[in-house]
């Protein structure tokens, strides 16, 4: 069984938090998690390194950067309903403002990354780290580690720039919210998220 993130965005208007964008799924009668379409969530990728970074969830590399805060006391009713629909499966809830997300040095900060890779591919990666153009795309091939095609599986830990490792999150969430915020300040935009098994 895996762990998934459920992440929504809110904006603060006249001291009240509300969903940043219209939620297509929201109806008072919704009672099952599968009634929430993926397009209503800002980010849905499964990335345990990111989960550890954001809230310490499945943080095997000790890379947590933000404390887990729980569901905000002033969360919008729509997002609270989405959280409650998950029931006991929802855990490790937290929230971060856009200002907090921007406080990270996305260009220079690094994170410890562990995995399993074919020895031949790991050699290519480590050799490329000695150059000015590391082949970070080789990390994307880790999905094959469980398959029968992997020859000489080797465990490894390397330091990876977060802009590389969390590029999708940075583009979809940090840059995406920055574009959607309009005239609001970074403290008036936040993500609310939790995890479910």
pLDDT digits (tens, 9 = 90+) for 90-121: 788 999 999 999 999 998 898 888 778 888 88
State whether 86 and 175 are in the same domain: yes
Calculated CA dihedral for residues 25, 27, 29, 30, nearest 10 degrees? 20
Q: Which helix (H) or strand (E) holds 38?
A: none
Same-domain pairing of 92 and 37:
yes
28 shares a domain with 91: yes
pLDDT of residue 35: 46
Question: How many residues would you count in the chain?
Answer: 197
**In this structure, are 63 and 136 located in the same domain?**
no
Q: What is the domain extent for residue 148?
A: 110-164
Band of the pLDDT at 78, cuts 50, 70, 90?
A: confident
Residues 187 and 176 in one domain: yes
The tally of domains found in the chain comes to 2
> Average pLDDT of 74-86?
88
Q: Are residues 56 and 151 in the same domain?
A: no
The pLDDT value recorded for residue 189 is 95
Q: Looking at the structure, do residues 13 and 34 belong to the same domain, yes or no?
A: yes
Q: What angle do CA 58, 60, 66 make, to 5 degrees?
A: 65
Is 190 strand, coil or helix? Answer: strand
Considering the domain architecture, whether residues 131 and 92 belong to the same structural domain is answered as no
CA 120 from chain centre, in angstroms, equals 30
Residues 37-72: pLDDT tens digits?
A: 455 666 677 777 788 888 876 655 567 778 889 999
């Amino acid at each position: 069984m895996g762990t998934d993130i459920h992440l929504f965005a809110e904006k603060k208007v006249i001291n009240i938090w509300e969903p940043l964008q219209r939620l297509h799924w929201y109806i008072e009668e919704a009672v099952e998690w599968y009634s929430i379409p993926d397009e209503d969530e800002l980010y849905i990728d499964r990335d345990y390194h990111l989960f550890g970074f954001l809230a310490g969830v499945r943080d095997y590399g000790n890379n947590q950067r933000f404390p887990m805060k729980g569901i905000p006391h002033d969360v919008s009713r729509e997002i609270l309903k989405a959280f409650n629909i998950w029931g006991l499966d929802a855990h490790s809830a937290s929230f971060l403002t856009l200002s907090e997300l921007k406080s990270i040095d996305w260009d220079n900060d690094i994170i410890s990354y562990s995995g399993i890779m074919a020895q031949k591919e790991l050699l290519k990666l480590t050799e490329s780290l000695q150059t000015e153009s590391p082949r970070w795309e080789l990390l994307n091939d880790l999905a094959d580690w469980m398959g029968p095609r992997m020859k000489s599986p080797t465990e490894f830990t390397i330091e990876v720039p977060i802009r590389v490792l969390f590029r999708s999150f940075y583009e979809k969430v940090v840059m995406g919210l920055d574009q959607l915020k309009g005239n609001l300040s970074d403290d008036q935009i936040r993500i609310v998220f939790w995890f479910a098994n």
